[in-house]
Chain A
Amino acid sequence: MSSLHLSYQKTNKQVAFDTANKDALPLGISSEDLTEQLVQLNELAQQLISFDGEAPKNAEPTKNISMGVKKCHEAGLSCLKTAKFEEAIKHFSEGIKIATNRNKWESFQLTLFETHLCLMNRADAYLMSGKYPEALQDTDLLIKTMNVNPDNFYRRSIAHLELGFLNEAKVDLERGLAFQPNNEKLKRQLLVVMAKIFQEDGDL
């Protein structure tokens, strides 16, 4: 028999896990994992308890937050067009912050694209201002959350290339081409990267 050994504290209305029992956990559940999940659960409960308005009927995202994200995004874009990268990064970061600070019960799936949009353009701003490690981080996150737009692979390959990871840059472009075999931009960049690799190996 395996149980999770959880306890409920009436005073602060939280569920807690006693780490002394961590050896008794079933296979596949680590105590760190469980603790993290409990933190999320407690946070969700806290938010619901302290929520002022009417109890939410479903996981529908709130409209005005989406509006806020959109405004940040638009402001960022206009800065990007006028080459004010620092400001653009600030706007996009603000957008990401608002988008991720929604009420916990709102569907993450439905609002993910807002975050993605801001992340993509922030990556652009990082790339244009030469902040490649930051750009790599953002594009990594995009691809790992399965935003497999060929443009994201292009962005990440630029970051990889600039940081000197030639092979990774090549792999990114090849993966991007798997989604859109005729993407001219990716094809051209792939040739550039290949030439760089040959140069680096002293073959050209």
Chain B
Amino acid sequence: MSNSKYNYDENSETWPYFAITLVGVLVIPSTVSSISSLFAKETKNTNGAITSTFKPLTFQLIKKFQSKSKASKLFNARNLLLVIGWGILLYLGNYVAHKEIESTAVLFDPFEILGIAASATDKEIKSIYRKLSIKYHPDKLSSSLSEIEKQKAEETFVLINKAYKSLTDATTKENFLKYGHPDGPQAITQGIALPKFLIESQGTVLVLAYVFVIAILLPFIVRYWWNNVKSYTKKGIRTETSTMFVEKILNYKPTTLLTPITILAWISESEEIKEALPKLPQEDIVEIFIAHCSRQMGFLAKEQDKLNAISKVPVLVNGLLDLACHFRNSEIALACIETLRSVASAVPLSGIRKQQLLQLPNVDSKAVEKSSISTLGKLFTLSEEEQKKALGIESSASLKEALDVASSIPLLKVLKAQFVVPGEDGVPPGSIAHISVKVMIKSAKHHGVVTFRTFPEDKFHEEETFETLRDPFKMLKDQPDLPPAFAPYFPTSMKTQWTSLLAIQKDGKLVEQPATTTNLDLSNLKLSPEEFKASLKDKGKDFVIGTIKIPLTQPAPPKEGNYEFRLMIKSNNYFGTDLDLPLVMVVKNPTEKVNEKIYEVPAPSDDSIAGAMAQMRGEPVSTSGDEYFDSEDEEELVEADGLGLDDEDDDWSDIDTDTDDEEDQEDPKEK
């Protein structure tokens, strides 16, 4: 049957609309995401960012690298597809806009032609017809009209006649009213919103195109996508690289010395780096990294290739850090962070203890190694001449650049740190807690000890509302985003971040995955040394207190007792701003809390239904008098609750690992 029962969309009435929708659904959202990703960085918060006039020797090269990567952001395959998509969209839109006029003239509706309602009587129809036929009769047209207008009028006249005839015939009119067609009911037609040539084409080209799309292109795209998913881990490193890292961690011996150079050596074995610097032996790649950290340049490989390799280091180190935390290895995790910031600020890997000064611009590493000071804070206590000598800087302008950066590096001082369980006073056994750290952010030029006691007590009080109980981490987002970090030697822009690691104090093993802090208010840095001193004396009135919260995924130990932890909050970017503090988790059954509740909420009185229910359950019931219940009842209640919690302990015991570790640890001591 070559004559199909479908009406094809020969006049292109509907299929362009489908095509527009289809293309639009694909093109518009991806355009929006493309544009927003292009402008995402520019709109970020820059409050507290270090702005410096300092330009490293590699400045031009880095600029070139950045513009290249920006260009590749603009001119890539995805954007090309987007442009083609928009082209199709515009073409279709244009097509539809011009097609519309022709297609509407096809319908024949006598009522519309005569300009009357379907309910009009025969009399009305007749009078209208007369009026219109006089107006459009070819003999009565004014001679001033053009040829085209005359022709149009004639066409209208024919239509009017046709319409009148169909409406004066009783059966035809009825058919019109009932079925919308002069011949009565019509066969129902199925339309298909595709032009005929697409479906019933004799040519094999289209069939081939179909086969190509469904049998080749689609599986290929799916395979490509799946391979991408498979070959990268969640942290964005290749699976081969991840396997290599796991092997390195498993083979790591605690007695060997682990330095950032070891980490860089591991990184240089990864596929990612090998791809960026092909044909180079591993030792040379490590050499390149070390040279970058020493702020040297100009050998072994093309500068752009080197920058490309260096730009890949943070992702790889973060991947390694994640795995190290997974294997609970604190030595490797700490070395990872050390590597990360050495590469970010280009600080010599050999400069142990002097990194705080070596991270500054314009400094001479030899002079710094020789000088007696090693901290940023001490640097600001010196006279200008002494500062120049300590940093090995000759010109005052260069010294100012260095000091500007030094005073803008946010230093953290801990004010208060504790384990918090929302809605509880302490940490009940088996509960899910988080760590809340209140920090003071200050500049190295601010001298003076800020502690918990500097502030009035209510400054640390956190209101517990329904919102904070539901999501205790929401308040972190109220603090501004951290600005981009000062890393002039690093090829791409970097975020200011702190990474928190939590270890068990006794065995030194990590217990949680690293947590990153991305929101903190740095406005304290703007205070001048005098303002700082004044505020310090005046109960810290101008100081902003920062909050860092670290979620814990494991529940608190099931047994009551003190559990010692070590919390390390390490900067990914700068040296000298870290926090390293001991934290004790006091796990305690909230027995007092139970009593409190009873006092707060009066027991139901015994004549209410609730009271009767409570009595049946053997719970304390208040008599009609004002006394609640006697002390015997209270004790019983506490005991019962204690027992209930003990039962729970058994359920939790196999989840917890902390107690096992302690036992392991005490073994060698006993022997």
Interface size on A, residues (CB 8 A): 33
Q: Are A149 and B669 in contact (CB under 8 A)?
A: yes
**Do A170 and B508 touch (CB < 8 A)?**
no
Q: Give min CB distance, A144 to chain B, whole Å.
A: 5
Contact between chains at A167 and B580 (CB < 8 Å): yes
A184 within 8 Å of B (CB atoms): no
Complex CA–CA separation, A200 to B375 (angstroms): 7
Give the CA-CA distance A94 to B60 in the complex, in Å: 60
Q: Across the interface, do A144 and B254 meet the contact criterion of CB distance under 8 Å?
A: yes
Residues A146 and B665 in contact, CB atoms below 8 Å apart:
yes
Which of B376, B566, B668 gathers the greatest number of chain A CB atoms within 10 Å?
B668
- Give chain A residues whose Cβ lies under 8 Å from the Cβ of B247: 27-28, 30
Q: Once the chains are docked, how many angstroms separate the CA of A110 from the CA of B508?
A: 24
> Cβ of A12 < 8 Å from any Cβ of B?
no
Measured between alpha carbons, how far is A112 from B243 in the docked complex, in Å? 35
Contacting A at CB under 8 A, from B447-506, are 447-449, 505-506
Tell me the minimal C-beta distance from B282 to chain A in angstroms: 15
- Among A178-204, those with CB < 8 Å from B are 178-179, 181, 198, 200-204
Inter-chain contact A200/B378, CB cutoff 8 Å: yes
The answer, yes or no, to whether B99 is at the interface (CB within 8 Å) is no
A202 and B506 contacting across the interface, CB-CB below 8 Å: no
Q: Are B251 and A30 in contact (CB under 8 A)?
A: yes
B562 cross-chain contacts in A, Cβ below 8 A: 181
A165 to B353, CA, bound (A): 7
The reply to whether B508 and A203 contact each other, CB–CB distance below 8 Å, is no
Cβ of B631 under 8 Å from chain A: no
* Complex interface bits, A147-167 against B, C-beta within 8 A gives 1, otherwise 0: 111000000000000001101
B189 on the A face (CB < 8 A): no
Q: In angstroms, how far is the closest chain B Cβ from the Cβ of A136?
A: 12
* Contact (Cβ within 8 A) B566 A175: yes
**Which chain B positions have C-beta within 8 A of A179?**
506
**By the criterion CB–CB under 8 Å, are A201 and B508 in contact?**
no
Task: Tell me the chain B residues, 615-671 only, with Cβ under 8 Å from chain A.
Answer: 665, 668-669, 671
> Which residues in chain B, 369-422, are within 8 Å of chain A measured between CB atoms?
374-381
Q: Are A109 and B671 in contact (CB under 8 A)?
A: yes
**Quick check: A147 and B375 within 8 Å, CB to CB?**
no
The yes or no answer to A177 lying at the interface (CB within 8 A) is yes
CB-CB under 8 A for A202 and B381, given A27-B243, A144-B255, A178-B564: yes
Given the known interface contacts A27-B243, A149-B669, A175-B505, the answer about A201 and B377 at a Cβ–Cβ threshold of 8 Å is yes
Task: Contact check, A28 vs B506: say whether CB atoms are below 8 A apart.
Answer: no
Does more than half of chain A's interface fall in helix, strand or loop, or is it mixed? helix
Contacts of A113 in B (CB 8 A): 671
B566: chain A residues within 8 A (beta carbon): 171, 174-175
Interface flag for A33 (CB, 8 Å): yes
Q: Which of B449, B578, B580 contacts A198 (CB 8 A)?
A: B449
* Neighbouring B residues of A27 by C-beta, 8 Å: 243, 246-247
Query: With an 8 A cutoff between CB atoms, is A24 at the interface?
Result: no
A141 close to chain B: CB less than 8 A:
yes
Q: Are B505 and A202 in contact (CB under 8 A)?
A: no
B374 touches A200 (CB 8 A): yes
Within 8 A of B (CB), among A62-112: 109-110, 112
Across the interface, B378 reaches (CB within 8 A) one of A148, A164, A202, namely: A202
- Do A171 and B449 form a contact, CB below 8 Å, given A144-B255, A165-B353? no
Find out whether the CB atom of B580 lies under 8 angstroms from the CB atom of A148: no
- Chain B residues lying within 8 Å of A204, measured Cβ to Cβ, are 449
Instruction: For the complex, give the distance between the alpha carbons of A32 and B505 in Å.
Output: 32
A171 CA to B581 CA, complexed, in Å? 8
- Is B582 on the interface with A (CB-CB < 8 A)? yes
Contacts of A165 in B (CB 8 A): 353
Nearest-CB residue, chain A, relative to B449? A203
CA of A144 to CA of B253, assembled, Å: 10
What mask results when residues 498 to 519 of chain B are scored 1 for a CB within 8 Å of chain A, else 0?
0000000111100000000000
In contact, B378 and A201 (Cβ under 8 angstroms): yes
Q: Are A164 and B505 in contact (CB under 8 A)?
A: no
Chain A 108-131 per-residue mask, 1 if CB under 8 angstroms from chain B, else 0: 011011000000000000000000
Output the least CB separation between A40 and chain B (Å).
14
* CA A113 to CA B670, docked complex, whole Å: 10
The answer for the CA separation of A149 and B665 in the assembled complex, in Å, is 11
For the complex, what is the distance from the CA of A79 to the CA of B557, rounded to whole Å?
A: 48
CB distance from B344 to the nearest CB of A (A): 20
Known: A148-B665, A164-B353, A164-B374. A174 touches B505 (CB 8 A): yes
Specify which of B255, B353, B380, B582 is in contact with A202 (CB 8 Å cutoff).
Answer: B380
* Chain A residues at the B interface, C-beta cutoff of 8 Å: 27-28, 30, 32-33, 109-110, 112-113, 141, 144-149, 164-165, 167, 170-171, 174-175, 177-179, 181, 198, 200-204
20 A-B Cβ contacts within 8 A? A30-B247, A112-B668, A113-B671, A144-B255, A146-B665, A146-B668, A148-B506, A148-B665, A148-B669, A149-B669, A165-B353, A167-B578, A171-B566, A175-B506, A178-B506, A200-B375, A200-B377, A201-B377, A201-B378, A202-B379
